[in-house]
Amino acid sequence: MMRTTRPAIWLSVVPAIAVLALLFYVPLAGSLYGSVADEKNRFTLTAYRSLMSDASVRRGLIFTIEYAVASTTAAFVYGMAWAALMHRAFPGKRWYGVLSRAPIVIPGVAVALMMLTLLEQGGFLARVLAPLGIALPRIVRDPAGAGTVIALAWKEAPLMGAIVASAFGSLRADVVQAARSLGATAWRAFWLIQVPAAMPGLAAAALLGFVRALGAFAIPSLLGPAYPKPILVLLYEAFEYGDWPRVCAIGTVFAAVSIIAAWLYYRVMQAAISRETDARTHNARYGGIL
Amino acid sequence: MSARRERASLRRTLLSIGLYTQLALVLGVPLLLMVLWSVSDGWFPPGVLPQDYTGAHWRQALSDPLLGHALLSSMAIAVLVTVPSAVLAIPPAWVMSRMAPRTRHIFEWLILTPLIVPGIVIATTLGKLLLLAHLSYTWAGVVLAQLIGTLPLMIRILCASFMRLPDDAIAAARTLGANAYQAIWHIALPLARKALFAGCLVVFASSLEEFDKTFVIGAPNVQTLPVLLYFRLDGAGIVFPVAAVSSLILTLPGLLIFIMAARAAGIAGQRPQGNGIDTVSHFDIGS
């Protein structure tokens, strides 16, 4: 084991730390400070109180949580199915695995355009369904946020599949084999052994997806209704108006939620990785039999 | 026995057909719609397909000064972001890869956080600082804002790759008289050059598609491709063929890099998780 403890090495780390500290952590701390201090630097909760008493913020926050929960749920169900099917062998599996993950790299703005051409009134889906006598309700820029939910779920689902698959992949194969050899069907083994064992990873996947959906900007602002506005659109507007206390308050709340989520996600994934390493050494030692 | 095997093989084929059909409907149709819009010459209801086709939109795109300028800005900013990300990421990635796990975990979390906090939150909280520094609405401001996302990405990729390097190789170089820098420069970096290249590609692609921070810090002065497309989609008068062309130009580089990365991972025979590129696509926080 070689350790680089020379001061010169530590010196070369300074620029990267400085960039992240100055551009990310210092502004974040500033925003926390700005959210609880008035012009004379006295402690105050006015910024948070004015947020809570503003009906458009309350509606916007509820609306944001609603579409984030809905899209995360949809993406999670898809992700579970995807991970389960990727467990099986079928012709063309490798390319299916690659292509089905493509939405991860398609920019949100482009996803918004796709969903507009597909779902808007008079869009492709409406034209295909019209001869069948089916009239679509308003899906895009609708008050219920259906367009936002569909677009976010479409973009997030493959990512969810990948994380769910890695949560299942880190489990020890021998326990399932034991259950199967004791007579459990694949279905029972899946629900009674694999799902409970993978639960921390699954929860982490859902949490990460939820935070990402909460933090989405381009898709909800392009496909969402004029009212209620997504909370981050309100944050952007407060920034444009120069309403600094409000920017700080919304920013602090979101940053706190994200940092906690990052920590939980990281903890769970770290545990999964060390379990995977254990499982691999175990399988190597006992030939995957025991 | 053989009848059973045949049935299993039939099931696999049916599964494959089902999954590829789903892929065609869910991914293929929306992509095809964009391509059709970009070459459509009149597509009025109730037509399910365009009335006629034309290459005019693509030809116009070539001479569209706004689009050309946005493409150039995007490319230039992506280069300006990729180079410092790569250079600055090497030392911390190396130091982290040689740390005791307990210490490394703290740093990994500190580096994961900027990738999870929403871009709009990062950009608005950074906005005041950049305003004070007179960097708002400038290229420099946009590059700095994007670095918050790309530097952690690069550190993650390089650190994962450095961690796979055998300690023996480095130790051998050190015993033979190389100092730490020489060991990194002559041994670690050449061995990790694939990860460095992959990291540069991923960072380049994520800079090209970055929207949230660029929009808050740069718009409307700095117009990258996603920002231009956003303005073209925001509002009532969307010109679909024009928007489809810019959207395809925006989407293609990322898709190509993604497929290249997937092929590279396949050739190397690595598991789908665990190669640097894939870890990254998990956190490639697309806007």
Instruction: Using CB atoms, pick whichever of A90, A130, A214 lies closest to residue B15.
Output: A90
pLDDT at B61: 84
Instruction: Using CB atoms, pick whichever of A30, A100, A248 lies closest to residue B23.
Output: A100
B179 lies in which domain range? 58-283
Q: Which residues of B touch A163 (CB under 8 A)?
A: 282
B29 and B128 assigned to the same domain: no
Read off the pLDDT band of A7 (50, 70, 90): low
B71 and B5 assigned to the same domain: no
Rg value, chain A, Cα: 24
B28 and B62 assigned to the same domain: no
Q: Which residues of B touch A79 (CB under 8 A)?
A: none
Q: Counting every residue, how long is chain A?
A: 290
| Mean pLDDT, rounded, for A57-75 | 93
Whether residue B53 is contained in a domain is answered as: no
Whether residue B51 is contained in a domain is answered as: no
Whether residue B69 is contained in a domain is answered as: yes
> DSSP characters for A150-199?
HHHHHHHHHHHHHHHHHHHHTS-HHHHHHHHHTT--HHHHIIIIIHHHHH
Angle at the Cα of A194 from the Cα atoms of A190 and A199, rounded to 5 degrees: 125
B138 and B7 assigned to the same domain: no
User: Which segment of A78-92, A168-182, B84-98 scores lowest on mean pLDDT?
Assistant: A168-182
> What residues are paired with B40 via a beta bridge?
B53
pLDDT at A242: 87
Interface test with A, best of B31, B71, B107, B125 (most A CBs within 10 A): B125
B157 and B221 assigned to the same domain: yes
Please answer yes or no on whether A91 and B127 come within 8 Å at the CB atom: no
B105 and B11 assigned to the same domain: no
Whether residue B45 is contained in a domain is answered as: no
Nearest CA in chain B to A7: B180
Read off the pLDDT band of A6 (50, 70, 90): low
Whether residue B149 is contained in a domain is answered as: yes
Read off the pLDDT band of B258 (50, 70, 90): confident
pLDDT at A279: 55
Q: Is the confidence at residue B193, as pLDDT, over 60? A: yes
B127 and B210 assigned to the same domain: yes
- The residue among B137, B141, B56, B155 whose CA lies nearest residue B97 is B155
Read off the pLDDT band of A276 (50, 70, 90): low
B31 and B154 assigned to the same domain: no
Whether residue B190 is contained in a domain is answered as: yes
Q: Is the confidence at residue B284, as pLDDT, over 50? A: no
pLDDT at A273: 63
- For B74-98, how does the pLDDT look when each residue is reduced to its tens digit (9 = 90+)? 999 999 999 999 999 998 998 888 8
Whether residue B49 is contained in a domain is answered as: no
pLDDT at A285: 43
- For B115-142, how does the pLDDT look when each residue is reduced to its tens digit (9 = 90+)? 989 999 999 999 888 988 888 889 999 9
User: Which segment of A71-80, B200-209, B215-224, B264-273 scores lowest on mean pLDDT?
Assistant: B264-273
| Min distance A152 CA to chain B CA atoms (Å) | 11
Q: Is the confidence at residue A21, as pLDDT, over 60? A: yes
Read off the pLDDT band of A1 (50, 70, 90): very low
Instruction: Using CB atoms, pick whichever of A88, A130, A250 lies closest to residue B46.
Output: A130
B152 and B238 assigned to the same domain: yes
- For B61-78, how does the pLDDT look when each residue is reduced to its tens digit (9 = 90+)? 888 888 889 999 999 999
| Min distance A108 CA to chain B CA atoms (Å) | 5
B157 and B27 assigned to the same domain: no
Per-chain mean pLDDT for chain B:
83
- For A191-238, how does the pLDDT look when each residue is reduced to its tens digit (9 = 90+)? 888 888 888 888 888 888 999 999 999 999 999 888 889 999 999 999
Instruction: Using CB atoms, pick whichever of B95, B148, B287 lies closest to residue A107.
Output: B287
Any chain A CB within 8 A of the CB of B253? no
CATH number for the domain harbouring residue B192: 1.10.3720.10
Greater confidence (A82 vs A11) lies with A82
Q: Is the confidence at residue B105, as pLDDT, over 50? A: yes
Phi-psi region of A223 (alpha: psi -120 to 50; beta: other; left: phi over 0): alpha
Q: Is the confidence at residue A134, as pLDDT, over 60? A: yes
Q: Which residues of B touch A104 (CB under 8 A)?
A: 258, 281, 284, 286
Per-chain mean pLDDT for chain A:
84
Nearest CA in chain B to A253: B121
Nearest CA in chain A to B125: A27
Any chain A CB within 8 A of the CB of B149? no
Nearest CA in chain B to A122: B45
Interface test with B, best of A113, A210, A276 (most B CBs within 10 A): A113
> DSSP characters for B68-106?
HHHHHHHHHHHHHHHHHHHHHHHHHHHHHHTS-HHHHHH
B72 and B188 assigned to the same domain: yes
| Mean pLDDT, rounded, for A87-112 | 87
Domains of chain A: 54-286 (1.10.3720.10)
Whether residue B191 is contained in a domain is answered as: yes
Instruction: Using CB atoms, pick whichever of A93, A126, A270 lies closest to residue B105.
Output: A270
Q: How many domains does chain B have?
A: 2
B31 and B91 assigned to the same domain: no
Please answer yes or no on whether A165 and B273 come within 8 Å at the CB atom: yes
